[in-house]
Structure 1
Amino acid sequence: MSTYAIGHLHDVNVGPDVVEYLRRIDETLAPFGGRFIIHGGPATVMEGSWSGDLIVIAFPDRDSAHAWYESAAYQRILPLRTGNSRGDVFFIEGVDAGHRATDVLAGIPAHQPPG
């Protein structure tokens, strides 16, 4: 199942360290099948509010995502980003092409009406 590395970054200082990080990250992704799906850019907010930058990197599976993040190559450049931004980063699995919204109900205990 495809897994996505999601980063919601704030206060990114686009100085020499971040530029170096950007120059080197692609070479860390290639051995693990990672590729950018979203890499910042303006958002059209339809509900609520939004700030910061969204980054989404797709991997073939969760093991590949973890192996990339923990790789020596990525760990060498990681401080270039973390020292110049703040935010949240996490992994989440995608869904199959045939996924329906109601499929999530299978994991939720049936609601019992009062009474």
Structure 2
Amino acid sequence: MAKGYWVAHVDVTDPVAYEKYKAANAAPFAKYGAKFLVRGAPQTQVEGHARARTVVIEFPSLQAAHDCYNSPEYQAAKALRDPVSTGDCLIIEGYDA
């Protein structure tokens, strides 16, 4: 079974308030087996447009990635993030060779 991934590009306008979102998302991420592969590390933009922060999260399956995003726990965390950041988030099925 192919894994699922979240790929997010985010600009944070209030880093202190954003920390509350990060604390609140820990429980749903643990519940759905999330593993951070990239979490706001330094990045070099070589083409196109990018936001300041990139996050890549791996889930055991595409279904788990969707279930986490749609869970009440994550949506409560997201409500903390929305007023203090702007971003794009994709849920993508991994390549299972």
Q: TM-score range by the shorter chain?
A: 0.7 to 0.9
Higher relative contact order (CA 8 A, sep 6+): 2
- Quote the offset at 1:12 in angstroms: 3.6
1:2 counterpart letter in structure 2: K
Match of 1:66 in 2: 66
Q: Give the equivalent residue in structure 1 for 2:3.
A: 2
Number of the residue aligned with 2:87: 87
Q: What code does the residue aligned with 1:10 have?
A: D
TM-score (normalised: structure 1):
0.74
Structure 1 pair 79–87 and aligned structure 2 pair: CA distance change class (3 A):
same
Larger radius of gyration: 1
Question: What is the CA RMSD across the aligned residues, in angstroms?
Answer: 1.6
Gaps of 5+ in 2: none
Residue-pair matches, total: 95
Indicate whether 1:32 and 2:40 are aligned: no
Q: Which runs of 5+ in 1 are unaligned?
A: 99-115
Shift of 1:83: 1.0
| 2:55 matches 1:48 | no
More strand by share: 2
